[in-house]
Amino acid sequence: MKTKNNPLMENRSLPYKIFYYISPCLLLIAFLIFWQAVAASGRTLLPTPYEALERLFTIWTGTIAKKPMIYHVFMSVRRILTALLISIGVGVPFGVAMGWNKIFRAIFKPLFEVIRPVPPIAWVPLFTLWFGTGEGSRIMIIIMGVFMPIVVNSYTGVTMVPEINFDVGKVFGAKSMDMLFDVVLPSSLNAIFAGIRTAVGGGWMVVLASEMLAARSGIGYLIMQGSNANDLELAIVGMFMIGVLGAVFAYGFDFLERGLCPWRRK
């Protein structure tokens, strides 16, 4: 039985176990019933769950704005992944350098702290002016959203390395580069990954916003399209796709982290 591996379930009575596993399903069913009731009342334009589900399947065979559904999903994923890769490639070394080197920190931290609170969307006018309304501009906006948490977490991770780790390094003769790559980086990997996870969440928000503002493709465009054409099913399908993709991303990063940090495996 499955409960055998679950420590929460040990020494629990049978009714408790049933309640534990049944209640989330009940909540989901209640949600669907509520949705169905609201949709069937006819006072809103909300499609029923069944209609939404049907649309979810048929949408893959049709086209939106002359492109198949898969193209829109691909465009959104490509935008967020491009922005993420650039931000990780630049942001992690930048954050680590800020935590590691006092001079570097003294020079860059004030500027960084001023830029940090500016919401990514606020950059739209500037970026549109500089880079036009094309793909580059959109990716820059997304970078503004994902770059900050990655830098902040890498920086915090490095400054939080326990003092004893440095003492051990010193006693056993670690040179500066040993200390950085063999001690500081592995010590702060956890925080760096936490930053990337936060960045992915925030990243989706910015992707959507940038696609809603000015784009002919992407999931954000689908949702906007659904809104403009009174096609709520399309908007709901878009929302559902974001949920699925978000979960896929979260699992992907967990998988990556477990691969990179074998010492944290049970």
Interface with other proteins (CB under 8 A): 164-165, 167-175, 178, 182-183, 186-187, 189, 261-264
Residue 251 beta carbon to other proteins: minimum distance, rounded to whole angstroms: 23
Q: Choose between 113 and 182: whose C-beta lies nearer to other proteins.
A: 182
| 221-234 CB burial, b ≥16 within 10 A, e <16 | bbbbbbeeeebbbb
Residue 162 beta carbon to other proteins: minimum distance, rounded to whole angstroms: 9
Q: CB atoms < 10 A from the CB of 199, how many?
A: 28
Taking Cα atoms as reference points, which of 59, 83, 37 lies closest to residue 223?
Answer: 59
With residues binned 3-state (H G I as helix, E B as strand, rest as coil), the percentages for the chain, rounded to 5, are 80, 0, 15
Residue 260 beta carbon to other proteins: minimum distance, rounded to whole angstroms: 10
Q: Choose between 7 and 262: whose C-beta lies nearer to other proteins.
A: 262
Q: Choose between 7 and 24: whose C-beta lies nearer to other proteins.
A: 7
Q: Choose between 57 and 172: whose C-beta lies nearer to other proteins.
A: 172
DSSP sequence for 229-248 = TT-HHHHHHHHHHHHHHHHH
Helix (H) or strand (E) holding 63: strand 63-64
Residue 167 beta carbon to other proteins: minimum distance, rounded to whole angstroms: 5
Residue type, 109: K
Q: Choose between 114 and 171: whose C-beta lies nearer to other proteins.
A: 171
Residue 176 beta carbon to other proteins: minimum distance, rounded to whole angstroms: 11
- Are the C-beta atoms of residues 100 and 176 closer than 8 Å to each other? no
